[in-house]
């Protein structure tokens, strides 16, 4: 294909250079946004009298036909094209003749690619936001079914204090809600229409940028043409928000992997969401969770990649910026793919309540409550804490749990203990007593779930 810019050149581009330079194999996925942007631009050019009205109509119809043809396979893109923008323009002129040559009036590929990428990303982020909503809804559903499922809470991966499975998974609901907020922030800041920036210096034509912006669903136009063509902050922000989603998914995955091990035995994955080993017949591996954890690395890679591409770039458009897309697309695809399998994996897993309770009964996770019992009777907390610690040491020496001690054994350590200590260190009571906002008490968590469900509508 000879290039649209070939007028100034006396030779065809070297074919290896053409392959190196071309972005068509990855930016072709923006064909719908490119066509939408061109349709709006052509309508505006016709409305402002910059091009004849009938040319505007021919362009719009020609572009819509190309879109339909690309979608039904009757039109294919010449792989030697430089990018999606020029490929569509060439196709248009081949099909409708001279009118097609008027489309690029008052426009540059620099503002064209900037608007296309914003539109592509806008759609993709809305898709991921919807997937996050589905994940949060699934977490709420699982939490509601496990309000009284007592399990040990951990710090340092050591059993710490009693909690419930509902409380533990609702922590992830909060993380994914913040992720939704970050996507919304990013979408709001990128809601600026750069067409009209031209190559970098604006245009002398009397274009109507407000009209193009409203046709394309943007609420503002960019205020500086240099920034308009060279801002890729929105790509960085999107990759950062996607990285945080992956960070949260990787932590949840790690938890699922641990909790599915025989050492924990808290969860069991559905057979449709786990895999076997080629040599060890007994194995049931949490491959999905491990892959999600592993794919986090490539999304972080996209973030570091775009930050590095943009570092130190002089104004305005530089070809380096063509490198903004593959990492972004890969990050979007990866997050979408992970969420696509993660949510149903969660939906189908089994919660082994008995194993969670058994683990909670060991490890003295009610030792704080045992100390609190004395404190509430007026014993200073530090003394109560020491008494409870002595009881734990005693229990370890004789292989008992706190609730298995006789009242005499309690009183041998501190005279402040009475019969009331037993209900006070009962695990469900320990959980129910933590009714402070944010705590694991079943009623508190139920309210939390109500709030989150109301937020995601």
- Which of 35, 40, 51, 83 binds ligand ARG (CB under 6 A)? It is 83
290 or 320, CB closer to ligand ARG?
320
Q: How far apart are CA 102 and CA 313, in angstroms?
A: 32
CB 53 within 8 A of CB 44: no
Burial annotation 427-451 (CB, 10 A radius, 16+ → b, else e): bbebbbbbeeeebbbbebbeebbee
The CB density around residue 407, as the number of other CB atoms within 10 Å, is 12
Q: Does 23 bind ligand ARG (CB under 6 A)?
A: yes
Q: Which two tokens stand for residue 147?
A: 């309000």
Q: How far is the CB of 10 from ligand ARG (least distance, A)?
A: 20
Q: How far is the CB of 113 from ligand ARG (least distance, A)?
A: 4
Q: Does 30 bind ligand ARG (CB under 6 A)?
A: no
CB 147 within 8 A of CB 166: yes
Q: How far is the CB of 186 from ligand ARG (least distance, A)?
A: 20
Q: Does 110 bind ligand ARG (CB under 6 A)?
A: yes
328 or 432, CB closer to ligand ARG?
328
Helix axes 233-260, 287-310, angle to 10 degrees: 160
Q: Does 113 bind ligand ARG (CB under 6 A)?
A: yes
- Is 156 noted as a catalytic residue in this protein? yes
- Is 277 noted as a catalytic residue in this protein? yes
* Positions of E strands within 134-200: 150-155, 158-164, 192-193
Q: How far is the CB of 16 from ligand ARG (least distance, A)?
A: 18
Q: Which stretch binds ligand ARG (CB under 6 A): 315-323, 342-350, 394-402, 415-423?
A: 315-323
Q: How far is the CB of 109 from ligand ARG (least distance, A)?
A: 4
Q: Which two tokens stand for residue 343?
A: 């949510």
Q: What is the dihedral of CA 45, 50, 56, 60, to 10 degrees?
A: -30
CB 196 within 8 A of CB 162: no
- Which of 41, 43, 58, 109 binds ligand ARG (CB under 6 A)? It is 109
Q: How far is the CB of 214 from ligand ARG (least distance, A)?
A: 25
- Which of 321, 339, 387, 421 binds ligand ARG (CB under 6 A)? It is 321
Q: Which stretch binds ligand ARG (CB under 6 A): 123-131, 154-162, 237-245, 316-324?
A: 316-324
Q: Which stretch binds ligand ARG (CB under 6 A): 40-48, 200-208, 252-260, 317-325?
A: 317-325
> Which residue among 156, 262, 278, 397 is the active-site one?
156
**CA nearest 24: which of 332, 333, 236, 325?**
325
Burial (CB < 10 A; 0-12, 13-18, 19+), residue 349, is: buried
Q: Does 27 bind ligand ARG (CB under 6 A)?
A: yes
List the interface residues with ligand ARG, window 224-283 (CB under 6 A).
Answer: none
- Which of 3, 61, 214, 322 binds ligand ARG (CB under 6 A)? It is 322
Q: Which stretch binds ligand ARG (CB under 6 A): 35-43, 109-117, 274-282, 413-421?
A: 109-117
Bridging pattern class, strands 350-351 and 267-268: antiparallel
1 or 456, CB closer to ligand ARG?
1
Q: How far is the CB of 34 from ligand ARG (least distance, A)?
A: 10
> Which residue among 6, 219, 277, 340 is the active-site one?
277
Bridging pattern class, strands 220-221 and 192-193: parallel
CB 100 within 8 A of CB 201: no
Q: How far apart are CA 242 and CA 309, in angstroms?
A: 18
**For 87, what's the count of Cα atoms within 13 Å in the CB-facing half-sphere?**
26
Q: Which two tokens stand for residue 292?
A: 């999600």
- Where on the chain is the footprint of ligand ARG (CB under 6 A)? 23, 27, 83, 109-110, 113, 317, 319, 321-322
Q: Which residues are catalytic?
A: 156, 277
């Amino acid at each position: 294909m000879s290039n649209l810019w070939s007028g100034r050149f006396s030779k065809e581009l070297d074919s290896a250079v053409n392959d190196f330079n071309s972005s068509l194999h990855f930016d072709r996925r923006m064909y719908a946004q490119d066509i939408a942007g061109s349709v709006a631009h052509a309508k505006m050019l016709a409305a402002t009298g910059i091009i004849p009205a009938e040319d505007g109509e021919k362009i719009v119809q020609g572009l819509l036909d190309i879109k339909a043809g690309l979608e039904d396979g009757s039109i294919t893109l010449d792989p030697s094209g430089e990018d999606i923008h020029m490929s569509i323009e060439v196709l248009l002129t081949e099909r409708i003749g001279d009118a097609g040559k008027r489309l690029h009036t008052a426009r540059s590929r620099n503002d064209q690619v900037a608007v296309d990428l914003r539109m592509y990303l806008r759609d993709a982020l809305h898709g991921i936001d919807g997937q996050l909503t589905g994940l949060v809804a699934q977490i709420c559903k699982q939490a509601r079914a496990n309000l009284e499922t007592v399990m040990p809470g951990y710090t340092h991966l050591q059993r710490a204090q009693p909690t419930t499975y509902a409380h533990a998974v609702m922590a992830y609901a909060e993380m994914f809600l913040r992720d939704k907020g970050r996507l919304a922030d990013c979408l709001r800041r990128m809601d600026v229409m750069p067409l009209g920036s031209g190559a970098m210096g604006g245009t002398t034509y009397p274009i109507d940028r407000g009209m193009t912006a409203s046709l394309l669903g943007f609420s503002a136009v960019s205020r500086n043409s240099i920034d308009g063509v060279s801002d890729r902050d929105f790509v960085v922000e999107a990759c950062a928000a996607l990285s945080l989603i992956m960070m949260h998914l990787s932590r949840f995955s790690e938890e699922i992997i641990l909790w599915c091990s025989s050492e924990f035995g808290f969860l069991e994955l559905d057979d449709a969401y786990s895999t076997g080993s080629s040599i060890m017949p007994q194995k049931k591996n949490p491959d999905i969770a491990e892959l999600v954890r592993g794919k986090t690395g490539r999304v972080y890679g996209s973030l570091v990649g775009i930050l590095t591409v943009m570092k130190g770039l002089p104004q305005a458009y530089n070809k380096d910026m063509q490198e903004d897309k593959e990492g972004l697309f890969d990050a979007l695809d990866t997050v979408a793919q992970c969420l696509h399998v993660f949510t149903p994996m969660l939906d189908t897993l089994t919660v082994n309540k008995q194993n969670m309770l058994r683990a909670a009964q060991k490890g003295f996770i009610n030792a704080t409550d045992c100390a609190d019992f004395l404190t509430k009777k007026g014993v200073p907390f530090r003394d109560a804490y020491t008494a409870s610690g002595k009881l734990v040491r005693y229990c370890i020496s004789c292989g008992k749990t706190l609730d298995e001690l006789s009242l005499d054994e309690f009183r041998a350590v501190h005279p402040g203990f009475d019969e009331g200590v037993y209900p006070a260190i009962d695990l469900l009571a320990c959980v129910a007593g933590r009714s402070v906002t944010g705590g694991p008490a079943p009623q508190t968590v139920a309210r939390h779930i109500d709030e989150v469900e109301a937020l995601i509508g």
